[in-house]
Amino acid sequence: MIYKYPDDFINKIMCGDCLEVMKYIPNSSIDLVVTSPPYNIGIDYKSGWDSDRLTIIQYKEFSKKYMETIYRIIKQDGRFCLNIGYRLCTIVERSGMDYIEILNIAKEIGFKLRETIVWIKTRERENPQSFCGANTAWGSWLSASNPICRSFFEFIFIFYKEHIGKQSKGESTMTKKEFIEYTQNAWYFSAETNRLHPAPFPKELPMRCIKLLSYKDDIVLDPFVGWGTTAVVAKELYRQYIGIDNNSDYCEIARKRINSITGKLF
């Protein structure tokens, strides 16, 4: 299928392989990318292919391809927020890979690391130790044999392309209180509990990224939009959005969520 930019993209949820769809997005046209790609840990995304059971070599190649495309299409002062876990590729090869290898790929492409934010998954803002997640983990019990730490956090890496600062003026939509909170590099908020999608992130995550790193009317892209959270938040915050996912059911859910906000189904 051939797409025409901007008519087929702006304020649309597009169903297809993001690598194919993004080919039609012009160079240096996107203000902000906020996304969380598959972690390759065996989640069934019902996408019609074994998208979360790649070998480490395949996953690295996949990561390089989508990040090269993001690098091409973001503006010279564009930002790229990448939400990933500490460990990746653990389903096919037990040793897996860690986030450092993803950072190295991004840097090889040309991205510059602006910030590293640790998202602590806590049930209660007033009690940061009330972690979301299991109270136990596989491994040795009460023994140094093979203890395994439980994971209560994820990373949000913020990259930029060329200019660390925005080169044009725009309208911010943050309050003073939000700015003070969002500019801390540890964020405390809950994980998403709604499971219409197998690996959703909460609205709080893209909301903070979008408010902190973009202006009103900027174009926000999520190439792994799932059931539409980034696009929904972008619309609520008066940004333009582009969402891409290869599962038609999730795309339809995303459109309906956006429709419930705007009264118009894109």
Residue for token pair 């973001």: 74
pLDDT of residue 113: 98
**Any idea where the domains of the chain sit in the sequence?**
12-134+149-164+171-262
CATH 3.40.50.150 fits 12-134+149-164+171-262, yes or no: yes
Beta bridge partners of 15: 245
Are the C-beta atoms of 245 and 226 separated by less than 8 Å? yes
pLDDT of residue 265: 43
pLDDT of residue 1: 81
User: Angle at which helices 229-236 and 248-262 pack, to 10 degrees?
Assistant: 20
pLDDT mean for each 10 residues of the chain (266 residues): 94 96 98 90 58 80 96 98 84 75 96 96 62 58 78 92 95 96 94 68 95 98 96 97 94 94 55
pLDDT of residue 176: 96
pLDDT of residue 150: 73
Smallest CA-to-CA distance from 234 within 2, 32, 20 is with: 32
Beta bridge partners of 186: 118
Could you tell me the two tokens for 139?
A: 């491994």
